[in-house]
Amino acid sequence: MTTEDDRTGAADIKAIPVRHPGRWVAAAVVAVLVAMLINSFVTNPQWDWSTIGHYLFAGLILHGARVTLELTAIAMLVGIVGGILLAVMRLSANPVLSAASSFYIWFFRGTPVLVQIVIWYNLAFLFPHISIGIPFGPEFVTFNTNSLISKFTAAVLGLGLNEAAYMAEIVRAGILSVDEGQSEAASALGMRRVLVLRRIVLPQAMRVIIPPTGNETISMLKTTSVVIYIALTDLFTAAQDVANVNFRPIPLFLVACIWYLAMTSVLTIGQGYLERHFGRGSSTRPPARGFERLWNAIRFGRPRLSGYEDALIGNAR
Amino acid sequence: MPSVLRRPIVTAGVIALTLGAAAACGSSSSGGTSPGGGSTVSPASSSAGTNAAAVSEVPADISSKGTLVVAADASYAPDEFLASDGTTVQGMDADLAQAIGKELGLTVKVENITFDSIIPGLVDGRYDLGMSSFTDNKTREEQVNFVDYFSAGTSFFEKSAGGPAVTDLNSLCGLKVSVESGTTEESDAKGQSKTCTTAGKSAVDVESFPTQSAANLALSSGRADVSMADSPVAAYQVKQSNGVFKLVGASYGTAPYGIAVPKTDGTLDLAIQDALTAVISNGTYAQILAKWGLTSGGITTPGINGAIS
Number of neighbours of residue A157 by Cβ within 10 angstroms: 19
Q: What is the pLDDT averaged over residues A202-207?
A: 90
Residue B104 to residue B57: CA distance in whole angstroms: 9
The C-alpha angle B57, B59, B63, rounded to 5 degrees, equals 100
Greater confidence, B146 or A146?
A: B146
ipTM entry: 0.71
**Confidence category of residue A292, pLDDT binned at 50, 70, 90:** confident
- Distant-in-sequence, close-in-space partners of A246: CB < 8 Å, separation ≥ 6: A51, A252
Question: Lowest-confidence range among A191-200, B1-10, B175-184?
Answer: B1-10
Query: Which chain B residues have a beta carbon less than 8 Å from that of A123?
Result: 221
Query: Which chain A residues have a beta carbon less than 8 Å from that of B208?
Result: 231, 237, 241, 244
Distance from CA of A86 to the nearest CA of B (A): 31
**Confidence category of residue B115, pLDDT binned at 50, 70, 90:** very high
Inter-chain contacts counted by CB atoms under 8 A, chains A and B: 58
Q: Which amino acid is at A122?
A: N
* Strands lying side by side in the sheet with B226-230: B107-112, B67-72, B129-130, B245-262, B144-159, B226-230, B176-180, B205-209
Greater confidence, A15 or B300?
A: B300
SS3 A52: helix
Considering only CB atoms, which residues of chain B are within 8 Å of chain A? 116-117, 119-120, 123, 140, 142-143, 178, 181-182, 186-187, 207-210, 214, 217-218, 220-223
CB contact under 8 A, B218 and A121: yes
> Cα Rg for chain B, rounded, in angstroms?
20
Residue B126 to residue B71: CA distance in whole angstroms: 9
Residue B193 to residue B179: CA distance in whole angstroms: 14
Most confident by average pLDDT, A73-82, A127-136, A203-212:
A73-82
Question: What is the rounded (10 degree) CA torsion for B267, B272, B277, B282?
Answer: 130
Contact A252, A243 (CB under 8 A): yes
- Distant-in-sequence, close-in-space partners of B169: CB < 8 Å, separation ≥ 6: B188, B189, B192, B195, B252
Is A46's pLDDT higher than 90?
no
Residue A260 backbone zone (phi > 0: left; psi -120 to 50: alpha; other: beta): alpha
Query: Which chain B residues have a beta carbon less than 8 Å from that of A243?
Result: 116, 120
Residue A59 to residue B198: CA distance in whole angstroms: 20
Number of neighbours of residue B91 by Cβ within 10 angstroms: 28
- Distant-in-sequence, close-in-space partners of A193: CB < 8 Å, separation ≥ 6: A187
Residue A164 to residue A216: CA distance in whole angstroms: 11
Q: What pLDDT digit, counting tens, does each position of B178-209 carry?
A: 999 999 999 999 999 999 999 999 999 999 99
SS3 B126: coil
Is B285's pLDDT higher than 90?
yes
Contact A213, A170 (CB under 8 A): yes
Contact B247, B128 (CB under 8 A): no
Share of chain B above pLDDT 70, in %: 84
SS3 A145: helix
- Distant-in-sequence, close-in-space partners of A141: CB < 8 Å, separation ≥ 6: A131, A132, A133
Q: What is the pLDDT averaged over residues B23-28?
A: 38
SS3 B36: coil
Distance from CA of B115 to the nearest CA of A (A): 10
Query: Which chain B residues have a beta carbon less than 8 Å from that of A43?
Result: none
Its sign, for the CA torsion B132, B136, B140, B144, is positive
CB contact under 8 A, B217 and A128: no
CB contact under 8 A, B217 and A122: yes
B/e letters for B121-140, b = 16+ CB within 10 Å, e = fewer, are bbbeeebbbbbbbbbbbeeb
Distance from CA of A32 to the nearest CA of B (A): 28
SS3 A91: coil
Q: What pLDDT digit, counting tens, does each position of B219-233 carry?
A: 999 999 999 999 999
Contact B116, A244 (CB under 8 A): yes
**Confidence category of residue B17, pLDDT binned at 50, 70, 90:** very low
Query: Which chain A residues have a beta carbon less than 8 Å from that of B220?
Result: 122, 125
CB contact under 8 A, A231 and B218: yes
Query: Which chain B residues have a beta carbon less than 8 Å from that of A251?
Result: none
Query: Which chain B residues have a beta carbon less than 8 Å from that of A128?
Result: 222
Is B22's pLDDT higher than 50?
no
Nearest one of B77, B79, B91 to B245, comparing CA atoms: B77
CB contact under 8 A, B187 and A123: no
Greater confidence, B53 or B41?
A: B53
The predicted pLDDT at position B144 comes to 95
Residue B13 to residue B22: CA distance in whole angstroms: 14
Report chain A's terminal Cα–Cα distance, integer Å: 13
Distance from CA of B60 to the nearest CA of A (A): 25
The predicted pLDDT at position B3 comes to 44
Report the residue of A43, A241, A252 to disrupt the B interface, i.e. the one with the largest count of B CBs within 10 Å: A241
The C-alpha angle B189, B192, B195, rounded to 5 degrees, equals 165
Query: Which chain B residues have a beta carbon less than 8 Å from that of A253?
Result: none
Greater confidence, A54 or B5?
A: A54
Q: How many CA atoms lie within 13 A of B8 on its CB side?
A: 2
The structure's pTM equals: 0.75
Q: What pLDDT digit, counting tens, does each position of A234-288 carry?
A: 999 999 888 888 888 889 999 999 999 999 999 999 888 888 888 777 766 666 6
Query: Who among A123, A231, A243 is closest to B207 (CB)?
Result: A231
Is B23's pLDDT higher than 50?
no
Q: What pLDDT digit, counting tens, does each position of A70-117 carry?
A: 999 999 999 999 999 999 999 988 999 999 999 999 999 999 999 999
Q: How many CA atoms lie within 13 A of B103 on its CB side?
A: 29
CB contact under 8 A, B181 and A124: no
Report the residue of A43, A48, A125, A147 to disrupt the B interface, i.e. the one with the largest count of B CBs within 10 Å: A125
Greater confidence, A76 or A140?
A: A76
The predicted pLDDT at position A153 comes to 94
The predicted pLDDT at position B32 comes to 38
